[in-house]
Structure 1
Amino acid sequence: MKYSGLYYITNPSTSLDSSLSIVTNLVQGIESNFHTATRQSTWSLQYRLFRDTIPPRHTPATDAEGKSKPFAHTLQHILHLSSIDQNRTYTCIQPPTGSSIVSAIPLRQQEAHALLLRNQFSALWQPRHVLYIQQGVTYAAGLCTIQIGEIRSSREGLLSGGTQSPGVLVCISTTVGSDDNEDSQVKTPDDGQDTPDLDCAEALVRHFWNVIKGDRDLGKSEVKEILMNHNILKGQEKEAVVRMWCDILRMRG
């Protein structure tokens, strides 16, 4: 199986040039520290976020001081990531509490599904934002594969606007066990065994990120880290990856 970590580097100015500068800076960090790193094929990402609408007759709950509590929204993520599957798009329904539900649809149905939510189901779902990466860079560097891309964003619906770049995404992945048969190499969380391989993989991902970033000046950018959950059930590795990407991409959700 593949174990991954994601790093989202914010771009305070939201200008595309600033994000491209961050990408260039990080690429230099890869090429200067991993001399045998080789470029691989590019990758792409498309992401939409929808949020459920507040029911017309909803009565807000109150806290101990009598103040209204914010409504707990359910989110619907629509994600296509070419490095996961070039021909599939994943939807992830994320309730305010409990586990999210991941399902897959053919890529060719992605736009139709989004239009269905925007138009026919507009009373139930509110569009939030759209994110995409067009030509992400991929490096093979020893034990890890590194993906970097500048995020471009736009809003849908009444809040639609011009394209901006809110930040840069870095994904660092490494193989745990044999990659020939993913299911046979992943331990279930309730089998009573330790998972040292995942601990080592997590440490390796963080080490690679620290080496890439080094003492490079990222200005006022902040870095958000999300690592793959260790409690991965057999046969659900891809769903775990989808949840991780959706978690970091929701940003302003």
Structure 2
Amino acid sequence: MLLEQKNAIVYGASGAIGSAVAHAFAAEGARVFLAGRTRSTLEVVAKKIQTAGGLADVAVVDVLDADAVETHADAVVRDAGSLDISFNAISLPQTGIQGTRIVDLSPEGFDLPMATYPKANFLTARAAGRRMSSQQGAGVILMITASPSRTATPRMGGMAPAWAAIESLSRGLAAELGPHGVRVVCLNAAGMPETTQLSEVYGLHADAYGISRDAFQARMEGLTLRKRLPAVAEIADVAAFVASDRSSAMTGTIANLTGGLVVD
């Protein structure tokens, strides 16, 4: 198994992407520490992982609370012996954020993603990086963004700038932590239409263009080289591979999982 004897924290673990990645990590042998805001939804994910034979623990953690993030990271290392993988998959409801032209957007609608996503990734990556570099000399920090970080996409509000900031953060961390054996990789994905959040997002954009949600999804699919958007399972499988030692040469890079929506 790719991640046998590895310990992984997944932030936002009850969401569609976080839960899928947690399942993929556990299936490859990792012990996963599920972190998020709501214990009941985290416990549902943990139960499914445990039923499948995996190891999963649950903790309520506010990723915007630096002390809470640090305390939880300490608890993981104390309990498991190491923190080998950190993956941040937090999300926000997008109504009032996407679907509106920037010139018509409220300051709050622009500020929220800018104040949330980069800060949350900074705090969780900082906690992991400190322990991985000083205590272990090894580890992998994963982040996730989306294709508008690299394209001229209208009606994204503060989301595209926030994703671009996360990608820049990942490169800086990779430069600083690389000499200490820690890798940092950002996964850049296109819309995964089976997720609740993307269903909301596509609806917002469809309304802005005066078309149906299905028509907007078809438009997005047509922009990819495969003529279909990535599935959550595809993102999770790559996350597990990148977190493994088989990807030991990868760091400071943005892994393109857009299905050809963005061509490098």
TM class, shorter-chain normalised? Answer: 0.3 to 0.5
Q: Which has the higher strand share?
A: 1
Q: Which has the higher helix share?
A: 2
Q: Which has the larger Rg? A: 1
TM-score, with structure 1 as normaliser: 0.32
TM-score, with structure 2 as normaliser: 0.31
